[in-house]
Amino acid sequence: MIVIRNVAATLAATLAALASNASNAQSTDGYHAIQVFPVVVDTASFVERLVLRNPNDDDITVKVRYVPAEGTSQAGPLNCPDLNIWGKATFSYEGLRSLCPALPAGSQFGYLYTWTESYNPDRTGLPFSGFSRVQNGQGIGFSVEAFPAHAFTSAQSVVTGLRRSAATVNSPAYQTNCFVGNLLDVSPLATPVASTVSYQLTTGDFNTLIGSGSVNLVPGKMVRLLDVFESAGVPPGNYDNIRVRFEESGNGEPALITFCTVQDNTSFGADFRIGKQEQGLSEGSLIPNPFGQDDGALRESLVGTDIRMPTGPGMSASRPFVIPVGETGNTHVMYFRHPDWVACDIINAATGVRALRTYGLELRLVASDGLTVLAGGNDVEGFAPIYLGDKGDRDNGANTRYTLQVESNENNIGSARPYQVFCRSGSGHSLGELLLTNGANQF
């Protein structure tokens, strides 16, 4: 069993891990109104500089709340003084304690929850960006990017490439530490809702379960699984290319931070792997959303109704997708991100499979100019993945809207034809809300 004897070194490795891969997991869309620094630190061995950028013309006020991990001297979340950043300015702050001077003595590590808020409503919710630089007395360090708070959900997440091995003549010992945090609620409930987060370690090739465990968290808590192999009860021995899956159970659907660090126990060099979402819920789709929990970035969707809308006092309803008796069509608006591969099918709502031509429906995908047909057409009930084009091929490089047109193919016009739309994309798409119903046939 590998044991870390120096807490400061453990923290150092944890933080050093963030430097190498955080940018790979984060989008270049880096400006947001609510930003989370996954790990911040203040120890005798390491100092930290935080850098925040205000891209707006107006000054902004950034609220700061430090959430400690279990095992530090800070008992719970701590509100820190506001940060006032001039318009178009980039400010740096020397150390966690300069941000949060009320911190008690002792080593600190946890995460920062930051957001813009002002007495002036025009300056509340303005976006900003941030990163931190951590270094030791020799100037060896790394950067930790801030992540937008919306990126953290209760979707199942996975971290890959974990390892544990004893030292040899030619290599150091390796250890994996994992962290699980429950983002704090800015508007907390009177009675916090606890969530159980289970984790399972499996081999990367054959999915063989080798260990498991769980933690219980309320909003505003973070735990460290020091040597996650030991925490999960994995038998002694060397392990490589191991995967850990984190899964939340309960009704709270909180925002969870999950990540792991793999460190060598000689130099305490390390890397960082953010938990990547592999299975989430969808409010609008009839099937779970693989790879996320965001109805604006679905990888697979099956939708048969529109968004719920008010129908009277205290009542709401959604419109089912249906082509009525006769020859008419519906137009759905969808959002795709190119370059990407996209496929869509009309699903017979009664059978749950692609509609036959005799069912009486056809579809096509049209670009944002309203003229360019990208896929589908007469007597086409679905299309295999198509390439939307390189970045400069359409819409001046912008990710934007498309229309999916579903209409009668002149068969079965004596019956109403309820339907569902199944779509699949590599980088995410929206649900496909109804834009026009019972319009004239277009193709």
Single-letter amino acid, residue 275: G
Residue 394 pLDDT > 80, yes or no?
yes
Q: How far apart are the first and last CA of the chain?
A: 68
Please give the pLDDT value at position 26: 67
Residues 26-48: tens digit of each pLDDT: 678 999 999 999 888 887 776 78
Tens-digit pLDDT profile for residues 102-114: 999 998 989 999 9
Q: Alpha-carbon distance 339 to 362, whole Å?
A: 25
Q: Are 391 and 339 in contact (CB under 8 A)?
A: yes
State the burial class of residue 25 (Cβ atoms within 10 Å of its Cβ: 0-12, 13-18, 19+): middle
Identify the pLDDT of residue 401: 97
**Rounded to an integer, what distance in angstroms lies between the CA atom of residue 436 and that of residue 442?**
12
Residue among 338, 354, 345, 358 at smallest CA distance from 412? 358
Q: Would strands 361-366 and 373-376 be described as parallel, antiparallel, or unpaired?
A: antiparallel
What average pLDDT does this structure show over 251-273? Answer: 82
28 phi and psi angles, rounded to 5 deg: -70, -10
pLDDT at 8: 36
Q: Which of 330, 324, 322, 306 is nearest to 442 (CA)?
A: 330
* Least confident interval from 291-295, 318-322, 439-443: 291-295
pLDDT band at 421 (very low <50, low <70, confident <90, very high): very high
**CA–CA separation, 58 and 344 (whole Å):** 44
* Per-residue pLDDT tens over the stretch 181-193: 999 988 888 888 8
| pTM (2 d.p.) | 0.86
Minimal CA–CA distance to 4: which of 301, 268, 328?
268
Q: 10 Å Cβ neighbour count for 250? A: 13
Question: Which domains, from first to last, does the chain contain?
Answer: 7-280 (2.60.290.11), 289-440 (2.60.120.380)
Residue range 268-296: mean pLDDT, rounded = 86
* In contact, 103 and 78? CB cutoff 8 Å: yes
Instruction: Report the percent of the chain where pLDDT is more than 90.
Output: 75
In DSSP terms, 326 is beta-bridged to: none
| Mean pLDDT calculated for residue range 82-89 | 97
How does residue 272 score in pLDDT terms, banded at 50, 70 and 90?
confident
- 370 pLDDT higher than 90: yes
Contact yes or no for 433/331 (Cβ under 8 A): no
Name the residue with tokens 């390491």: 46
**What is d(CA 216, CA 227) in angstroms, rounded to the nearest whole number?**
18
Q: How confident is the model at residue 98 (pLDDT cuts 50, 70, 90)?
A: very high
Say if residue 25's pLDDT is above 60. no
**Residue 21's pLDDT is what?**
36
Q: What average pLDDT does this structure show over 281-287?
A: 89
Report the chain's mean pLDDT, rounded to a whole number.
Answer: 90
Assigned token pair, 367: 């670009």
Predicted local distance difference test score (pLDDT) of residue 438: 94
pLDDT in tens, 208-244: 999 999 999 999 999 999 999 999 999 999 999 999 9
Percentage of the chain beyond pLDDT 70 is 92
Greatest CA separation for the chain: 80
Q: Which of 92, 43, 47 is nearest to 71 (CA)?
A: 43
**3-class SS of residue 10:** helix
Q: Taking 80 as the threshold, does the pLDDT of residue 23 lie above it?
A: no
